[in-house]
Structure 1
Amino acid sequence: MELTAARSTFYGDIGHWADRTPVHEAASLGRALQLKQLIEAGASVNILSVDNFTPLHDACIQAHPKCVQILLEAGAQVDVRTIHGSTPLCHACAAGSIESVKLLVDHGASINPSLTALTASPLHEACIRGNPACVQLMIDKGALLEAFDIYFGTPLHAACAKAHLDCALLLLNAGAKVNATKFHETALHHAARAERVDLVELLVEFGGDVNISDNLGHKPRDYTKPESPASLCLLHYESNPLSLQQLCRIILRTVLGTRALELIPKLDISQRIIDYLIYKVT
């Protein structure tokens, strides 16, 4: 079905402003029965508001999977972008609606839409909002772990900037580069700025470099409050080289995180198994 613009209204000097339609409103409010009746009466499911929002965008951002399903089955375009470049899948991931995400993916939504200066990828959105189920699904569907958003950097940067430990762990286990940089700033810089000791320890366990400097010459610890738990944690790692056991763990986690599913299909590698392997190596 073709995209059509919503009717416009003239407001004097500010020109024309497209109104939101009843289809937009029904989708946004989750009124599935009303939405279905409007479509059956001939309303367009691909009508655009002034900001290029379709009813599908509204249903996704408000986490109404039933409305998402109705719109998709009626021919809604799955990858249409708003004026900011966001697709419905971006909105569904931001809302944390795993049902909506699955529906969009099943209808061919792009997992890796091209990024613009104003938008992030669906994986970024899931990490920014802290929606681990959506993060895992995007990873499973082939989302680019090193996709670069001009504001946050990689999805790992975004997860750490917003202090979402569970999302960061999923990314690291999937093979995200722990020392990837945005203006020489790593995820560890974000974790330090957020004063999150658990994130700092996680990143270091996966090989995060506590001594790397950003483009301002600042190490992660420079972004912490003096004597804070995060500052003391980073100071400890700066002053004490990693033990052989820790280095072995980093190597094993790197290998298992990127190749375990290929080498040992569907085997859950627990911490106890990792510790046993380290014991055998050392």
Structure 2
Amino acid sequence: MMEFTAARSAFNGDSGFWSERTEVHKAACQGQVSELQSLIQRGASVNIVAVDSITPLHEAAASGQTQCVRLLLDAGAQVDARNVDGSTPLCEACSIGNFECVRLLLEYGAKVNPMLTSRTTSPLHEACMGGNADCVRLVIAKGASLEAYDLYYGTPLHVACAKRHLECVKVLLNAGVQVNAARLHETPLHHAAKSNNVDMIELLVEFGANIYARDKYDRKPVDYTRPDTSSAQYLQLYESNPLSLQQLSRIALRMLLGVRAVDVVVKLDIPNRIISYLLYQ
């Protein structure tokens, strides 16, 4: 308990101080609920920070320790504390795809759109990177910015495509994300082509992805596919055959409605098969 004693003697105020990992961090990380509760009852700060600005709540969220997350929040842990990279506990929970931790942090007021820095990605970026579609749906439902821009990755759709998470791509597109958003002229379709993921390519094109978009190397998506693959054949087919009027109408409707598409389309007095086509569900 020397570490805990030293921590208490150095602590000043409820905003925490700089230290190495403490017993509070350890208990939070390892899911030691009883130990964590005992430390808190004996006066340990729930907002104590390590040298990299990681709080016990960061540790609990990053390890998916939902009970410890709740215990820390009930004891006054700062829900939007930032570590040295600017990541919040919600970012950590989204990164590992722990739905219950994400839900709990949001319930306690975690910002779904924290201010981004050159070293920070948004919770939605992190959820897409981890490939957890349920977490993606949840943060979007809570108002996550679909076009949040990360200097390294671009938009959440760029991330989902680059990491080959098809279900996350589908969720984003159905939520109204801009399919042709570009980072250094590189679109999500470029990422899908690089991974030769024909299902993802088809999905993006169905939502209006520009098959003629050129990146900073003046290369189109098809230029990143191998000639003998179905991905290349699919893109070549679309280059030689224009979209049908039905497809163009669908894309135009989706672009017009944007993020309202799902709410609006399901209320239309049209057959379910048409609704499914419009929403690609």
Above 0.5 in TM-score?
yes
2:15 is matched by which residue type in structure 1?
Answer: L
Secondary structure in 1 matching 2:40: helix
Residue aligning to 2:27: 26
The aligned residue for residue 85 of structure 1 is: 86
Identity of aligned residues (%): 56
Do structure 1's residue 127 and structure 2's residue 139 form an aligned pair?
no
| Structure 2 counterpart of 1:12 | none
Residue type of the alignment partner of 2:66? P
Question: What per-residue deviation string (whole Å, max 9, x for no partner) do you get for residues 31-62 of structure 1?
Answer: 11111111111111111111110000000011
In structure 1, what is the equivalent of residue 138 of structure 2? 137
Matches within 5 A, 1:14-53: 18-53=19-54
Q: What residue identity is the alignment partner of 1:111? A: V
Q: Structure 2 counterpart of 1:173, which letter? A: N
AA partner of residue 221 (structure 2): P
Contact 2:265 2:275 in 1 (8 A): no
In the TM superposition, what is the alpha-carbon distance from 1:263 to its structure 2 partner?
3.6
Secondary structure of 1:4's match?
coil
Distance 1:84 1:266, change over 3 A: farther
Shift of 1:261: 5.0
Measured in 1, the distance between the counterparts of 2:271 and 2:65 equals 36
The corresponding residue for 2:243 is 242
Distance (whole Å) between structure 1 residues aligned to residue 271 and residue 59 of structure 2? 41
Q: Provide the residue aligned with 2:97 in structure 1.
A: 96
Q: Where does residue 6 of structure 2 map in the other structure?
A: none
2:15 alignment counterpart: 3
Q: Are the counterparts in 2 of residues 249 and 274 from structure 1 also a CA contact under 8 Å? A: no
Structure-1-length-normalised TM-score? 0.88
Aligned residues of 1:172 and 1:257 also touching (Cα < 8 A): no
The question of whether the paired residues in 1 share the 8 Å contact of 2:175 and 2:262 is answered with: no
Match of 2:7 in 1: none
2:208 paired with 1:201: no
C-alpha distance 226-109 of structure 1, shift in aligned 2 (>3 A): same
* Alignment RMSD: 2.2
Aligned residues: 266
Which secondary structure state, in structure 2, belongs to the residue aligned with residue 225 of structure 1? coil
CA gap 1:215/1:33 in 2 versus in 1, 3 angstroms:
same
Could you list the runs of 5+ residues in structure 1 that have no partner in the other structure?
7-17, 278-282
What stretches of structure 2 of length at least 5 have no aligned partner?
1-12
Mapped to 1, the partners of 2:263 and 2:50 lie a distance apart of: 46
Hey, what's the Cα distance between the residues in 1 that align with 2:256 and 2:271? 14
Mapped to 2, the partners of 1:95 and 1:234 lie a distance apart of 34
1:159 aligns with 2:160: yes
* C-alpha distance in 2 between matches for 1:59 and 1:261: 35
